[in-house]
């Protein structure tokens, strides 16, 4: 076999599986594995996930939304049309089914690679990471946004981030997402913010920022407040 990643610890079990595209993989489980130590960090960040931008960080940086499914949508539709026209039980039908499976596999692998790379960067850089406690399965009930939310893979991002943070000894804080976009991160004033409005301009103190940046600042404020810590002045500017 081709070993993509070296393992540590004592191998105990091996699970062999074959994918729909005919590829074989072996998953090896080891025990007595010691997590890799990374340098301690006092840096803190709030993260607001979205659709226009995949994630906006409270330090002003952004993670762009790669939209992997959107990029492959045309190729997938074409492959599915060819599959539907092929006669059942024929070699051509099996061949075209494998083409569709390969596109789905490519989307999944690209999405997983993106999630692992971004979560690793966050865990390496920040000691405390604040996130919204989103219930994605309820959000995808919105027919207009369901495809875009599923393509963004928020659940996989949060799940992987939490796992990496636990292994590295980083702190994850989940906060209530209510009103994070409508509340001014500078003075606490709350106002209506339709989804079409992308810049938050406070009616009370004239603070203005990208709505997702404002939300990420509020997420960090909530997380810090819960732990009784002092919020640095620069975080609210």
Provide the annotated active-site residues.
Answer: 48, 132, 212
Q: At what angle do helices 154-168 and 91-125 cross, to 10 degrees?
A: 50
Instruction: For residue 97, give both structure tokens.
Output: 């089914």
Q: Would you state the torsion angle of the CA atoms of residues 209, 141, 70, 84, taken in this order, to the nearest 10 degrees?
A: -170
């Amino acid at each position: 076999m081709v070993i993509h990643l070296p393992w540590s610890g004592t191998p105990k079990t091996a699970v062999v599986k074959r994918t729909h595209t005919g590829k074989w993989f072996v998953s090896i489980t080891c025990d007595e594995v010691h997590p890799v130590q990374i340098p301690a960090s006092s840096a803190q960040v709030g993260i607001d996930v979205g659709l226009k931008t995949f994630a906006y960080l409270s330090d002003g940086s952004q993670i762009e939304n790669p939209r992997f499914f959107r990029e492959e949508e045309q190729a997938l539709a074409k492959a599915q049309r060819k599959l539907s026209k092929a006669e059942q039980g024929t070699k051509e039908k099996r061949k075209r089914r494998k083409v569709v499976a390969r596109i789905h596999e490519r989307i999944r692998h690209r999405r997983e690679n993106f999630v692992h790379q971004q979560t690793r960067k966050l865990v390496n850089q920040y000691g405390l990471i604040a996130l919204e406690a989103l219930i994605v399965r309820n959000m995808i009930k919105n027919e207009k946004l369901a495809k875009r939310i599923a393509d963004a893979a928020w659940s996989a991002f949060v799940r992987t981030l939490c796992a990496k943070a636990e292994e590295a000894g980083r702190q994850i804080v989940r906060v209530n997402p209510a009103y994070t976009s409508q509340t001014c991160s500078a003075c606490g004033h709350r106002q209506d913010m339709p989804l079409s409005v992308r810049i938050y301009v406070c009616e009370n103190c004239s603070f203005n920022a990208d709505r997702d940046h404002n939300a990420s600042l509020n997420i960090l404020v909530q997380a810090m407040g819960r732990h009784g810590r002092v919020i640095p002045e620069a975080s609210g500017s």
